[in-house]
C-alpha cells in the first residue's frame, strides 16, 4: 500500500512538472503509475488532495534536507554548494506554469510554497553568508541579505536559463558555472582555495 502511494506521488510530480497540475488528470496519474483509478482514490480523495499531499511532502522533504546540510557541512563553502544543489533540484519541479496554476487553483499550497521561496530559502542563504564571513571565507563587505536574494533568484531561474541555452551546453556544465560564479563573487582568497577544492568534487557528483 505504501509502495503504491509513493509511486503515485513520484509519477504525479513528474506529470505536474511537465504538463502542470491543472492539465494533468487523475486518469493520467493512474496510467503513469500503473495502478487502477480505484487504487488511486484509495490513497487520495480527489486531485486537490493529491496536489496538497504531494507539494507539502516535497516542501517538507527539501526543508529537512537543507537543515541536515546546515547541521553537517564542514564549512560555509561546502554548505553553500550543497544548499545550492538542493535549490536547483527543487526549482526543477516549479516551472512558471506550475507556480501560476497553483496560485490560481490551490491557494493554500501556493501560500506555503511562497513562504518557502521568499522566507526560508533567503534566510538559509543569508545565514550561510554570515557564517562564511565569520570564518574569513567570504568578503566582509558582502551584504548577506542582498547576496542571498540575488543568489536565490539566479538558482531559481536555472531552468529558464538552460532552456535559452538550448543544446549548447549540458545541464551539468551550466550548474557548475552558475554555482562557481556565485561563489567566486563572495569568497576571499582563503575561501576561493576552498571553493576550488569543493568545486572539483562537486563537478563529479552534480546531477541534473
Cα distances (angstroms) measured from residue 198 to each of 71, 83, 154? 18, 13, 20
The whole-angstrom separation of Cα 91 and Cα 97 is 12
For 129-175, write each residue's pLDDT tens digit. Answer: 999 999 999 999 999 999 999 999 999 887 665 555 556 666 677 88
Q: Which residues contact 88 (CB under 8 A, 6 or more apart)?
A: 155, 158, 175
C-alpha cell recorded at residue 126: 543569508
pTM, full prediction:
0.88
Tens-digit pLDDT string for the chain (208 aa): 577 999 999 999 999 999 999 999 999 999 999 999 999 999 999 999 999 999 999 999 999 999 999 999 999 999 999 999 999 999 999 999 999 999 999 999 999 999 999 999 999 999 999 999 999 999 999 999 999 999 999 998 876 655 555 566 666 778 888 999 999 999 999 999 999 999 887 654 443 3
Amino acid at each position: 500500500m505504501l509502495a503504491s502511494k509513493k509511486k503515485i506521488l513520484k509519477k504525479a510530480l513528474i506529470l505536474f512538472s511537465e504538463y502542470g497540475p491543472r492539465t494533468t488528470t487523475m486518469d493520467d496519474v493512474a496510467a503513469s503509475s500503473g495502478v487502477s483509478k480505484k487504487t488511486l482514490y484509495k490513497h487520495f480523495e480527489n486531485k486537490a488532495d493529491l496536489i496538497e499531499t504531494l507539494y507539502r511532502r516535497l516542501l517538507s522533504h527539501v526543508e529537512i534536507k537543507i537543515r541536515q546540510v546546515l547541521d553537517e557541512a564542514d564549512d560555509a563553502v561546502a554548505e553553500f554548494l550543497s544548499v545550492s544543489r538542493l535549490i536547483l533540484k527543487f526549482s526543477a519541479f516549479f516551472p512558471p506554469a506550475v507556480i501560476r496554476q497553483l496560485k490560481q487553483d490551490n491557494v493554500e499550497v501556493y501560500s506555503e510554497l511562497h513562504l518557502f521561496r521568499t522566507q526560508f530559502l533567503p534566510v538559509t542563504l543569508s545565514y550561510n553568508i554570515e557564517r562564511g564571513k565569520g570564518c574569513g571565507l567570504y568578503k566582509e563587505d558582502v551584504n548577506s541579505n542582498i547576496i542571498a536574494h540575488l543568489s536565490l533568484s539566479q538558482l531559481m531561474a536555472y531552468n529558464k536559463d538552460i532552456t535559452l541555452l538550448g543544446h549548447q551546453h549540458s545541464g551539468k556544465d551550466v550548474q557548475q558555472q552558475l554555482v562557481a560564479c556565485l561563489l567566486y563573487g563572495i569568497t576571499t582568497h582563503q575561501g576561493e582555495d576552498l571553493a576550488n577544492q569543493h568545486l572539483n568534487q562537486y563537478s563529479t557528483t552534480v546531477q541534473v
